[in-house]
Amino acid sequence: MNSFLKVKEFAAFFIGGAANLTANKEKINALNVFPVPDGDTGTNMGLTMTSAVRDVPAQTTVVDVAKVLAHGALLGARGNSGVILSQILRGFSQGLDGAEQVSAADFARAMQKGVELAYKSVMRPVEGTILTVARKMSEAADKAVADTPEMAVDALLEVMLAEGHVALANTTNQLQALKQAGVVDSGASGLIAIFEGGLRGVRGEEFEVELAVGGKVDFMAQPEEDDTADLVNHYCTEFFIHGQNIDVDAYRAHLQDMGESQVIVGNESVVKTHIHTANPGAVLSYALQFGSLHDLKIDNMKDQHRETLFTEDEHNAAQLDEILAGAAEAVTEVLADMPTVELPCCGVVAVSSGEGLDQIFTEMGVAALVSGGQSMNPSAEDILRAIKSVPAEQVVILPNNSNIVMAANQACQLAEKPVVVVPSKHITQGIAAMMDFDADATAEENAEAMTEAFSVVRNAQVTYAVRDSSADGQDIHEGDILGILDGTISVVQPTINEAVLALAPLMFGEDTSLITLLYGEGVTADEAEALAAELAEIYPDYEVEAQFGGQAVYHYLMAVE
């Protein structure tokens, strides 16, 4: 039993949690209630946790681990679930209060602070979510250390997980959407995955990175066939161990049964490991017994897209930052001699998700674009980088997606210049907002005017169902075309055009005069123009426009004003 967590065990908790969360992200994604190809909780939380633990292995004190963990999570936060997770980790760091090692009481106090900040980060907290499960786990921790002040940390984690599983199962009863879909909350499931992996990491256990999730969803229904389907050891895991008196032969022998394609070289102070394994968390937990871990990288060889705990791209980006910093110093004298250019008062950062949409925003005066949308939410760091690039004294941000607003707010708080978030939740709202942007006005003045501008626009999306489901009173089958109005699935039709034609009249108001169709990938210009002509014929009193958006996921983005 671990009475205290020293720096190695403390780091192992978060590394094990990140590994377990990453390994189970697709199962967590499958818990999303809406049957559409939308932004995924497991992916967002996994990438947030990846950013959080990136610099953890190199730290030598508990305080330093907590600081880099919080900072990495703040910058890497993606989606609402990722932002809430980052606030839990930020509060956790603050709650440790300079501890040199972590006792059960320290852990409980830190968790309590994490829950407190997480609740404060949400304007209207909803119970039956990650917030509820985190709070229940925190309350269980407080009670446990009050009853047994000297209890071991891993015993405390067991208590917290037991209460967490009960609270997770109850989320189905707390939210109607979860009950209707027969699933538990996805964000709460991600939190449980972190603690399960963390507990095993603390104990140095070899573990199968699996998460038992509740609900009726068939996570593995009809998997696509590919040439990696038979892979068992499908996590390519690489890292360095820095330590003292490392028994390389004993270490190598132990790893023989943990995977294949092992390449383990080094000496008593530095060992490089490469292994293909089914259980990267087990490998990492074992390796931590020999020293600190550096330059970690975990690739899922079954993934079409390479998503790693520590990527070569990040390493290259760090090197690029150093090169750019040197270049900046080299041109400082030249820039000092150049005439001063007066900056505009305000500029705009907009999140965009397609070639056509990028062009529309650029032509309307957006200074910096952030790639992202419903299918891939940008991080707070992505948005912060765009803010820094805007040549203006102040900035407004158009997140253009409900799942990006919180990350935009987080970036706003990290910025070094005045920044205000215009809470646009749809691309069409962002376009309407740009109609009232004034570069000579302040960010606050623009935010007020731009918010008012998009408030008169009704917004809808046409997409497809990725699985059978029941949502918003609709019986939905995989492949159905869905019309989503104001966040509600209002139309279910067999074809794209039928969905648009059924959706349009639901959007009309007394002052409606313009219908805009932004067509995405998979829709041709001829198809969009023909549909626009059909709408114009049916509704001759309205002007109908069709423009190329190029967005993924949505066949059409619709606006009526």
How is residue 505 written in tokens?
């009249």
Which residue would you say has higher pLDDT here, 339 or 29?
Answer: 29
More confident residue, 338 or 393: 393
The pLDDT assigned to 341 comes to: 57
Phi, psi (degrees; rounded to nearest 5) at 457: -100, 135
Q: Is 558 helix (H, G, I), strand (E, B) or coil?
A: strand
* CA 110 to the chain's CA centroid: 23
**What separation in angstroms does the CA of 120 have from each of 83, 96, 116, 498?**
12, 19, 6, 43
Across the chain, mean pLDDT equals: 85
Q: How far apart are CA 225 and CA 45, in angstroms?
A: 27
Cβ atoms within 10 Å of 139's Cβ, excluding its own: 17
Residue 23 has pLDDT above 90, yes or no: no
Residue 317's pLDDT is what?
Answer: 53
332, pLDDT greater than 90? no
pLDDT > 50? residue 165: yes
Q: Considering the chain, what percentage of its residues have pLDDT values greater than 90? A: 58
Looking at residue 116, its amino acid is E
- Per-residue pLDDT at 305 exceeds 80: no
For residue 296, the model assigns a pLDDT of 73
Q: Which residue has the tokens 């600190």?
A: 292
| Band (39; pLDDT cuts 50, 70, 90) | low
Residues 6+ apart with CB under 8 A from 494: 480, 481
For 220-256, what is each residue's pLDDT tens digit?
333 334 444 455 777 778 787 888 888 888 888 888 8
| β strands within 436-502, DSSP E | 458-464, 469-471, 474-476, 481-485, 488-493
For the segment 527-550, what is each residue's pLDDT rounded down to a tens digit?
Answer: 999 999 999 999 999 999 999 999
556 and 491 Cβ atoms separated by less than 8 Å = no
**Which residue, chain included where needed, has tokens 């075309």?**
481
pLDDT band at 209 (very low <50, low <70, confident <90, very high): very low
> 307 pLDDT exceeds 50?
no
342 CA to centre of own chain: 37
pLDDT of residue 38: 61
Sheet holding 270-277, edge to edge: 260-266, 270-277, 235-242, 292-300
Q: What is the CA radius of gyration of the chain?
A: 25
Q: Categorize the per-residue pLDDT at 339 as very low, low, confident or very high, splitting at 50, 70 and 90.
A: low
Any idea which of 125-139, 176-190, 304-318 has the lowest mean pLDDT?
A: 304-318
- Cα–Cα distances in angstroms (integers) from residue 82 to residues 74, 122, 250, in the given order: 9, 12, 39
3-state secondary structure 370-410: EECCCCCCCEHHHHHHHHHHCCCCEEEEECCCCCCHHHHHH
Residues 6+ apart with CB under 8 A from 296: 15, 57, 238, 239, 284, 309, 310
Strands 235-242 and 292-300: antiparallel
Residue 233 in 3-state DSSP? Answer: coil
Contact between 201 and 142 (Cβ < 8 Å): no
**Contact at 8 Å (CB) between 374 and 405?**
no
What's phi and psi for 291, nearest 5 deg? 155, -165
Predicted confidence at residue 57, as pLDDT, reads 87
Tokens of 547: 């423009």
Is the pLDDT at 306 greater than 50? The verdict is no
Angle CA 553–554–555, to nearest 5: 120
Is residue 289 packed enough to be buried (19+ CB in 10 Å), middle (13-18) or exposed (0-12)? middle
For the segment 122-140, what is each residue's pLDDT rounded down to a tens digit? 878 889 999 999 999 999 9
With cut-offs at 50, 70 and 90, classify the pLDDT of residue 329.
low
Distance CA 110, CA 117 (A): 11
Tally of helices (H runs) and strands (E runs) in the chain: 21, 16
Q: What is the predicted pLDDT for the residue at 334?
A: 46
Distance CA 390, CA 325 (A): 18
Residues 532, 246: Cα–Cα separation, whole Å: 70
| Other C-beta atoms lying within 10 Å of the C-beta of residue 388 | 13
Q: Is the pLDDT of residue 498 over 60?
A: yes
What is the model's pLDDT at position 214? 34
Angstrom distance (rounded) from CA 461 to CA 487: 9
- pLDDT exceeds 80 at position 392: yes
In percent, how much of the chain has pLDDT > 70? 85
Name the pairing type of β-strands 481-485 and 488-493. antiparallel
Q: Are 517 and 556 in contact (CB under 8 A)?
A: yes
What's the rounded Cα separation, in Å, for the pair 25 and 81?
A: 13
d(CA 66, CA 322): 25
pLDDT tens per residue across span 376-391: 789 999 999 999 999 9
Q: Thinking of the domain 346-454, which architecture would CATH place it in?
A: 3-Layer(aba) Sandwich (3.40)
Confidence at 97, pLDDT banded by 50, 70, 90: confident
Helix axes 427-434, 355-363, angle to 10 degrees: 20
Please tell me the class of the 231-327 domain: alpha beta
Specify the CATH architecture of the domain 459-560: 2-Layer Sandwich (3.30)
Mind listing the pLDDT tens digit for each residue in 428-479?
999 999 999 999 999 999 999 999 999 999 999 999 988 787 777 788 888 9
Q: What is the pLDDT at residue 176?
A: 85
Which sign does the torsion angle of CA 410, 411, 412, 414 carry? positive
pLDDT for the residue 331: 45
Dist. CA 126–CA 22, nearest whole Å: 25
Residue 152: exposure state from Cβ atoms within 10 A (0-12, 13-18, ≥19): middle
- The alpha-helical segments, DSSP class H, found in 175-261 are 176-181, 186-203, 248-255
Domain boundaries, the chain: 1-210, 231-327, 346-454, 459-560
Given 1.10.10.10, 3.40.47.10, 3.30.70.20, 1.25.40.340, which CATH number is that of 1-210?
Answer: 1.25.40.340
